[in-house]
Chain A
Amino acid sequence: MQNSANKLNADDDHVYNPPKPGRLSKPKKSRKKQDFWVIIGFLAPAMVIYALYVIYSIAMTFYYSLFEWTGIDSTLVFKGLENYITLMSDGVFWTSLQNNFLLVGASLFTQLPIGLIMALLLFSPVKGMRFFRSVYFMPFLMSTVAIGILFIYIYDGNFGIINQFLGQIGLESWQRGWLGNEETAIWAVIATVCWQFAPFYMVLFRAAIVGIPEDLYEAADIDGASPRKKFIHITLPLLIPTIITSSILSIIGSLKYFDLIYVMTDGGPNNSTELMATYMYEQTFTNFNMGYGSSISFTMFIIAFIVTAFIVLFDQKRKGAN
């Protein structure tokens, strides 16, 4: 992995030995044909396993969503789009959709900025960087089970660390059972989700910042640019691709989020923290409505697809404009 460009002339010991192109003299058409096989060769291994598990599952989800089916017997009753029609007038679904968008917003505007700040801090002249780097990452490497249980206790109305802290600084009136209150529960969980995932974006941003050529900064230093100027004129523009990638990851991740809600509130109290995925899970495995559950899944899929396609196309335009 440490090979650098100077290995370029090393002997070719690979099994795959492409026919040496007769530089420039090659007819255009066969070049295209050759490209075609290269594309296939590089994509196929991933595509095979991906189609086998993922595309197949998505197709089956859509298929199931057209039926009334318990998931545990062998009678599937064809219903056409009826499940989707029911879904449109299902109040809990709309609540959960709304919660999902809250989570998307919170992820984009909290998780990513915090991740970026942490990444930038790692490049600042703070001593003991290695230590900070390790600790900052810890939320992301803790298992969701541990996080769930700990935060249930942290938010507890009677023993919780947050209420103890509020008591100490004289804000007794703010104390409450954070997860038991319909207004605060969703925010309490969203905060936990952001806490868990911010370090991942820190890693992503760090990897991107590391890739920015040093000489750009050196040139700026010669011009006497302030750190803020350097950030705005060098770092930030070069980070835009990473910001877009992170946004895609965090939007999709938030739209299908499940884990901590399931551990911490199970969608309650009174469905106030229900997400599309937890609602789908309840319908599929608690209420034995596999068909209906699948229609929720597929709707989630469509929503995520539209949002993502929009970003990808927008991103392509941006690149075209540059």
Chain B
Amino acid sequence: MFKRTMGLLAMIALLFTTACTNSGGDSSSGSSEGSDTLTMWHIETGESEKALEDAVKRFEESHDGVNVKLVRQENDPYKTKLSVAMGGGSPPDVFHSWGGGWLENFVKADQVKDISEDIDTENYLPSALTPAEFDGKNYGAPLAMDIVPVWYNKDMFEEYGLEEPETYEELLSIVETLRSNDIIPFSLANQSKWPGSFYYMYLAERIGGPELFNEAFNREGRGFDDEAYVKAGEKIRELVEMNAFPDGFNGMNFDTGQSRQLMYSEDAAMIIQGNWMLGTTRADMPEFEEKLGFFMFPSIEGGQGSKQDIVGGVSPVFSVSKKTDNPDLAAELVNELTSKETAQQLANDDGAISAVKGVEYEDEYVQEINTVLEEAEYMQTFYDQTLPPEVAEAHLDTTQALFGQSMTPEEAAKEVEAKAKEVLE
């Protein structure tokens, strides 16, 4: 008797189970409040969020009866939330991404709409479109770009008679001088793993040239275990052995401010970070801004890369879900979000580098950064955003291990290559 009832309960549970799995993935409840509501997920904060809000306002004014629900997400959890929403069949109509391998996963899963016909590619910088371009089709429109210079403390450089380096040798001698004065040469918070990746990308590019990564990524020519990558690893080792980084840097977190703190307290003199460093400094410690200078990562003697080549990325990129009830409206919203007007506002108020053509810069720093970008011969997009997630993880993990000296340059290069072979071929 008892067993029978338990069996019945189990049956009910099972029925629920099947009912739930079968009906998954048929409608977009992200926009369930009526057919003319668009839901949009983004991760912008402060002034750049304001720019998006204004763009949405313009969109709602020009589209009578359409209502846009703009929802801000927190950077890290956002990725989980989007995955679950996509897997559960309720994605937002328009969503943020960084292009690259992460977006490509959703494209492969047939979750992203091809918007080649909806956007005018002429409006954007070509290099900014590439990260969201797969098989010659556009799956996202970019709004802004980031580049990674070497930031330094101008006062401290003056104090120790240092100048912006032209060659890697000069950079190394700066490191030595600073170290001998008990200054931490580079502040680095590498718990988050991506800050250490900047070093690896720059060193590899400077040694192996701009085509190195593309060859490895496209599986034609050199691989991730190429000599250039091994050498880049050795140079990282050398820096670690020179004591170029703070104590315990592999456990420090960039977001909570541990590496910036060392810059502000003048315990450290340099930091390799994206141009967002400027915005975060203005929020953390405004008076530090005037001490902040930057130069590009120097070239390495005998290497194939030039000082002109930069590491950078595109963010935000806006894409449209395939499951949206209003594909045309959603695409139009993307156009408004990446209009020249939005980009201009973002540049003025947030100091962002635009991915949209024809934007003029007011801010002195941003002008300088933009000049660097214009003079750049090649832009290396962030490995961790370009590569498929699994290979990206392998790259980040091995780089962190390199910095921690628990892996040799050869081992690290081999492990990434093995993962790349498995996933990319």
Contact = CB atoms under 8 A, between A and B. Distances in A.
Direct contact of A and B (CB under 8 A): yes
Interface of A: 33, 36, 39-40, 44, 47-48, 51-52, 55-56, 59-60, 70-74, 149, 152-153, 155-159, 175-182, 185, 265-266, 268-271, 282, 285-290
Interface size class of B (residues with CB under 8 A): 35 or more
B60 to A, nearest CB: 30
Interface stretch (B35-43, B80-88, B124-132, B350-358): B80-88
Contact of A181 (B80, B246, B251): B251
A136 to B, nearest CB: 27
A181 B405 CA distance: 10
A55 B248 contact: no
A288 B248 contact: no
Contacts of B192: 266
B253 interface: yes
B247 A72 contact: no
Interface in B1-50: 1-2, 5, 9-10, 12-14, 16-17, 20-21, 25
Contacts of A44: 9
Given A71-B87, A270-B404, A287-B390, A60 B17 contact: yes
A177 B13 contact: no
A47 B9 contact: yes
Contacts of B193: 266, 268
A182 B13 contact: no
Given A47-B9, A55-B13, A288-B83, A265 B401 contact: no
B389 A269 contact: no
A73 B109 CA distance: 5
A159 to B, nearest CB: 7
| B-side interface mostly | helix
B124 to A, nearest CB: 27
A10 B164 CA distance: 89
A39 B2 contact: yes
| A-side interface mostly | loop
B191 interface: yes
B251 to A, nearest CB: 3
Contact of A73 (B2, B108, B248, B407): B108
Given A47-B9, A268-B193, A288-B83, A149 B256 contact: yes
A157 B397 contact: no
> Which residue of A159, A176, A269, A289 has the most chain B CB atoms within 10 A of its CB atom?
A269
A178 B389 contact: no
B248 A181 contact: yes
Contact of A270 (B25, B246, B252, B401): B401
Interface string B67-81: 000000000000110
A179 B251 contact: yes
18 contacts: A40-B5, A44-B9, A48-B12, A51-B13, A70-B105, A70-B108, A153-B258, A177-B252, A178-B251, A181-B250, A268-B191, A269-B406, A270-B404, A286-B393, A287-B389, A287-B390, A287-B393, A289-B390
Contacts of A181: 248, 250-251
B299 interface: no
A93 to B, nearest CB: 14
B133 to A, nearest CB: 20
B262 interface: yes
Contacts of A152: 251-253, 256, 258
